[in-house]
Amino acid sequence: MGARATGVVALAWAVTAGVAAPEPPLWPDRFHVMSAQTTPGGKDVVHLFYDWPGGRNLNVITGQALERAGKGTLWDFERQDGLTFYYTPRTRECRTIDMKYGLLPPTWLRDKPAAELVGQGVTVGPFRCNVWTKGESDTPGVPFITYYAEEQTDRPVRWAFYTGQELDIIMYAAGETLPEVEWQLPPYCQGGMGAAPATPAGSSAGQALLDAWHARIAATLDQAAGAR
């Protein structure tokens, strides 16, 4: 029996037994997650920094496809005013898109129509998860996102999108954010498009911080592998 089927059986048992169903998770106002992302283009490591009070969201992405293209690290900076800036410090290129919508609020899974609980007790790695779906895709019956959260804490565990993109959350830190300097757009990004000789985005201190996070998680994973 598959994980989804097992979760549906557990959910049906809980309803029959009169156990109160959990509510969709709430996000903290600020958090940092490190995830392993699988896309049709390969595998990436993504650092997501969510800052609701600041009206901003930043994804720092390294991966196989970016390296093949000679781009290095991609910074994906989303703002509450709907503007998203994609920039690559190695090539000093920037692209701006007006998405016409702002950030997801911390309540987005509970906002109507609320996320639907489709499974409980689903095992993903070391976690027992509640499984939620929300939104509609272009394919009938296929949700926009399937959201896995640890049963007791609501820690995000996996985000799976209808496109086949999956992010497995390796590290989660509520309240953690970047130094303020890392939220500043580089000079070559102010105009939106093109490249210019300017100081690359991301200070050396900020890059050192990201490197330290990578090293810390790598050490943790090595210890876990050695214990098995």
Note the pLDDT tens digit of each residue in 30-40.
999 999 998 87
Asked, for residue 228, whether it belongs to a domain, the answer is: no
Answer with the residue of higher pLDDT: 125 or 207: 125
Q: Quote the pLDDT of residue 157.
A: 99
Q: Quote the pLDDT of residue 215.
A: 55
Cβ neighbours around 219 below 10 Å, total: 10
Calculate mean pLDDT across residues 154-169. Answer: 96
Asked, for residue 65, whether it belongs to a domain, the answer is: yes
> Above 80 in pLDDT, residue 202?
no
* Segments forming the whole domain that contains residue 162: 3-8+27-194+209-223
> 184-198 pLDDT, tens per residue?
898 888 754 433 333
Q: Quote the pLDDT of residue 181.
A: 84
Answer with the residue of higher pLDDT: 173 or 217: 173
Eight-class DSSP state of 175? T
Rounded Cα distance, 219 and 216, in Å: 5
Rounded Cα distance, 52 and 66, in Å: 28
Number of domains observed in the structure of the chain: 1
Q: Quote the pLDDT of residue 93.
A: 93
Q: Which residue has the tokens 């000079």?
A: 187
Rounded Cα distance, 168 and 28, in Å: 19
% of the chain beyond a pLDDT of 90: 59
93-98 and 83-88 beta bridge pairing:
antiparallel
Residue 5: which pLDDT band, with cuts at 50, 70 and 90?
very low
Residue 139 CA, chain-centre distance (Å), reads 23
Rounded Cα distance, 148 and 159, in Å: 6
Residue 208: which pLDDT band, with cuts at 50, 70 and 90?
low
Calculate mean pLDDT across residues 3-32. Answer: 69
Calculate mean pLDDT across residues 56-61. Answer: 96
Q: Quote the pLDDT of residue 42.
A: 82
Eight-class DSSP state of 199? P
Asked, for residue 169, whether it belongs to a domain, the answer is: yes
Two structure tokens written together for 3: 């994980």
Calculate mean pLDDT across residues 1-19. Answer: 48
Asked, for residue 18, whether it belongs to a domain, the answer is: no
Answer with the residue of higher pLDDT: 118 or 212: 118
Asked, for residue 134, whether it belongs to a domain, the answer is: yes
> Above 50 in pLDDT, residue 3?
no
Asked, for residue 200, whether it belongs to a domain, the answer is: no
Q: Which CATH number do you get for residue 152?
A: 2.50.20.30
Q: Are 210 and 47 in contact (CB under 8 A)?
A: yes
Residue 3 CA, chain-centre distance (Å), reads 22
Answer with the residue of higher pLDDT: 200 or 202: 202
Asked, for residue 90, whether it belongs to a domain, the answer is: yes
